[in-house]
Amino acid sequence: MTPTITAFERSPDGGKGLARDTRVRWALEEVGQPYAVRGVSFDALKEPKHLALNPFGSIPTYEEGDLVLFESGAIVLHIAERHDSLLPKDANARGRAIAWIFGALNSVEPWILELQNAKLLESDKPWAQDRMLLVADRLRGRLQKLSAYLGDKEWLDGAFSAGDLIMVSVLLRTRPSGILNEYANLAAYVSRGEARPGYQRAFAAQLAFNQGKR
Ligand code: GTB
């Protein structure tokens, strides 16, 4: 059965791939699973029909027969568990790849969101500049540790996995701040992710969608 995901009818980033449907598209492209996309307006996100799919009123969601999922990490994990290429077969390596999904979402993404919130939602506050410096330094602390762990490895733990897919997606969101480029190995890691044909297809698909080519 062809799954249907939701995405912004028009993403505020105009198709830069920063909204979280891109990571789901990427996972589907990596495993070669065709999918349909339903565009949702900001108003429609808060209507009962969408809240029945995602109680928090956000994208992405995933519908496949009777199954409805929300949370991009859970959706990517679901896709990875049902196909061969995004999680290792060895149980321990599989556990570690899943740990990196959670690590990206729980131990890196919140610091990036803090910085984005400081820039987008709090810039008119008298303390905005001080807070921006503070949260940028906190993010650097996270990225420093990740950079040290990655070292000169190609991917986080052996072959490319759903853990890398989520980590690269998360790190991509730091690009507008310029902070990613302070860590050469992380910037190169993200570029390797972006160079994957699956990412290229996902990026092109979300761009076309945002340009109204559906
Ligand atoms: N934890 C959830 C997940 O991982 O799925 C978070 C989902 C979420 O916050 N989705 C956002 C959303 O629907 C879109 S991705 N927001 C609307 C709302 O909640 O009302 C966040 C996002 C939006 C836009 C850009 N951009 O334009 O650059 C980047 C990221």
What residue segments make up the domains of the chain, in order of their start? 4-85+198-210, 91-196
Q: How far is the CA of 151 from the centre of ligand 1 (A)?
A: 30
Q: How far is the CA of 7 from the centre of ligand 1 (A)?
A: 9
**How far apart are alpha carbons 84 and 207 in whole angstroms?**
27
Tokens describing residue 51: 């809240």
Residues 87, 148 contacting (CB under 8 angstroms): no
Tokens describing residue 136: 């940028």
Task: Of 189, 178, 180, give the one whose Cα is nearest residue 142.
Answer: 180
**Which of ligand 1's atoms lies nearest the C-alpha of 45?**
20
Q: What is the 3-state secondary structure (H, E, C) of 131-156?
A: HHHHHHHHHHHHHHHHHHHHCCCCCC
pLDDT of the residue at 175: 87
**How far apart are alpha carbons 202 and 39 in whole angstroms?**
15
**How far apart are alpha carbons 169 and 20 in whole angstroms?**
8
Tokens describing residue 64: 């496949």
The architecture in CATH of the region 4-85+198-210 reads 3-Layer(aba) Sandwich (3.40)
Enter the pTM of the model: 0.97
pLDDT of the residue at 141: 97
Looking at the DSSP assignment, which residues form a beta bridge with residue 40? 8
The architecture in CATH of the region 91-196 reads Up-down Bundle (1.20)
**Which of ligand 1's atoms lies nearest the C-alpha of 105?**
4
Residues 26, 198 contacting (CB under 8 angstroms): yes
**Which of ligand 1's atoms lies nearest the C-alpha of 58?**
13
Residues 21, 169 contacting (CB under 8 angstroms): no
Q: Return per-residue pLDDT of the chain as tens, 214 residues.
A: 999 999 999 999 999 999 999 999 999 999 999 999 999 999 999 999 999 999 999 999 999 999 999 999 999 999 999 999 999 999 999 999 999 999 999 999 999 999 999 998 999 999 999 999 999 999 999 999 999 999 999 999 999 999 999 999 999 999 888 999 999 999 999 999 999 999 999 999 999 999 999 8
